[in-house]
Structure 1
Amino acid sequence: MELFDKLYDEQEKAGVRFVGFTTKNVRYDFGIVYTNMFFGKPLVVCMQTGRSTLLDPKDIENLEYLQKVFRIDTLEEASDLAEFFSEALPTSPFETQYE
């Protein structure tokens, strides 16, 4: 008996970058998985909390989103994180998966 419908089951050799850095008040440790899945959006994992998200350039501009997804206390800290991600993540355009 089939219990579920498999949507995908892909394997690939993905590039992974581990980055730790500090700002004036906060230390960050991230794992960034560069993959062809998810229309090229990198998977960003906070190594301290385990929280993760797919990020594209528009997400980086949304400080409230960064603040929410990574549970950041202030917009200043989110702005620091956005500055890091703007340099660390690819800037190529992404396609919308669902319309």
Structure 2
Amino acid sequence: MSERFYLYDDTVETKTRFVSFMGENSRFDLAIVKSDRYYGKYLVMNLLSSRFAIIGEDDLNEPGYIEHAFSLEEDEATELREFLYEMV
């Protein structure tokens, strides 16, 4: 077996928030991770769909980003986007 080539292998301190809420259209169970990585953005994981994205305010303003990243319909994405705006 050849030697493994690491691009990086770091251990960092994180702050993780687990939140579950019911919107008008669907339920969200999220893990939101904040660290020194990702240029101040959050790693947002939807535990129900096993989808995740690195999200900052610029991403929330990008049309279609939340819909695509979490495979959501427009009304569901609007609920998630509104919640995430409170966080960033």
TMscore range, shorter length? 0.7 to 0.9
> Which stretch shows the higher mean deviation, 59-68 or 22-31?
59-68
Q: Following the alignment from structure 2 to structure 1, what is the Cα–Cα distance between the partners of residues 43 and 80?
A: 15
Unaligned runs of at least 5 residues, structure 2: none
Q: What corresponds to 1:27 in structure 2?
A: 27
Scaled by the length of structure 2, what TM-score is found?
A: 0.88
Q: Following the alignment from structure 1 to structure 2, what is the Cα–Cα distance between the partners of residues 84 and 12?
A: 26
Kept in 1: contact 2:25–2:75 (CA 8 A): no
Unaligned runs of at least 5 residues, structure 1: 90-99
Specify the SS of the correspondent of 2:76.
Answer: helix
Identity, in percent, stands at 32
Runs (4 or more) in structure 1 with deviation over 3 Å come to none
> How many residue pairs end up in the alignment?
87
Matched ranges for 1:14-93 at <5 A: 14-73=14-73, 75-89=74-88
The structure whose residues are more often strand, as a share, is 2
